[in-house]
Amino acid sequence: MSIPKFETFTSGAVPVEVENIDTDQIIPARFLKATERKGFGDNLFRDWRYDAAGRTVATFPLNDPRYGGQILVAGRNFGCGSSREHAAWALADYGFRVVVSSFFADIFRNNALNNGLLPVRVEERFLREIFDEIRRDPQAQFTVDLDNQRFTIVSSGHSSAFEIDAYKKRCLQNGYDDVDYLRSILPQIEAYEKTHGAE
């Protein structure tokens, strides 16, 4: 099995300029009752996108027709709180392929990578520049280049490098999946069990 291969692309971005966005905001707990992985995008940011009566909140960026694209730009400490992978599923199902922030929570970052959703961490100053660019031009374009680990603001040509570990980079580039990999090294895992007196 595999995840979609990640190739360089250019797209617009949706700005959610809020810090400490926790996974309860990305997908509230009452929407975690499915036993299959589908349809989570409908409830992405549910309680910020819709009010208590179910009406669309026009000011929320996902509802603002000026914005669009496969990149979500958010404030620092994105994805904190619950380990629910449903948060990554909801973002990917909605159509995002990249989340840009100045800081990611650990579990969310892993969950995102395991679903082909690329977390791009940039310096706070560069994040401000991205938000400013979108304010200047809501249709502003950005290029995500995984091979060279670069995120670029197209109009200005300003760019920032981002980190990703070599193993995960290879997985995203080739659409490899961790389960397949771990199954391929089962003999080594079994040898470990024998020598370490695992349960």
Partner 1 sequence: MIMGKTLLDKIWDAHTVRIEEGGRCVLYIDRQYIHEVTSPVAFAGLERRGIGVARPAQITATADHNIPTVNQHLPIEEPESRRQVATLAANCAKYGIEHFGVGNPRQGIVHIIGPELGFTQPGMTIVCGDSHTSTHGALGAVAFGVGTSEVEMVFASQCILQTKPRTMRITVDGALRPGVEAKDVILYIISQITASGGTGHFIEFAGSTIRSLSMEGRMTVCNMSIECGARGGMIAPDEKTFDYLRGRERAPQGAAFDAAVARWRELYSDADAVFDKEYHFDASDIAPMITYGTNPGMGMAIDGTIPQTADPKALHYMDFRAGERLLGHPVDYVFVGSCTNGRIEDLRRFAQLVKGRHKADGVTAWIVPGSKGVEAQARAEGLDRILEAAGFELRQPGCSACLAMNADKIPAGKYSVSTSNRNFEGRQGPGARTMLSGISVAAAAAVTGRISDPREVFGEA
Compare residues 83 and 159 and give the one whose CB is closer to partner 1.
Answer: 83
Could you say whether residue 53 binds partner 1 (CB under 8 A)?
no
- Minimum distance from residue 70 beta carbon to partner 1 (Å): 21
Sheet of strand 13-16: strand arrangement: 13-16, 71-74, 98-101, 118-121
* Contact residue for partner 1 among 10, 22, 141, 152 (CB under 8 A): 22
| Six token digits for residue 83 | 């380990």
147 Cβ partners below 8 Å, 6+ apart? 8, 173
- Closest to partner 1 by CB, 8 vs 181, is 181
3-state secondary structure of 99: strand
Contact status, residue 115 vs residue 3, Cβ threshold 8 Å: yes
> Which residue is it, tokens 């290029």?
143
Binding site for partner 1 (CB under 8 A): 1, 18, 20, 22, 24-25, 28-30, 32-37, 47, 52, 76-77, 80-86, 88, 103, 105-107, 110-111, 114-115, 165-169, 178-179, 181-183, 185-186, 188-189, 192-193, 196, 198-199
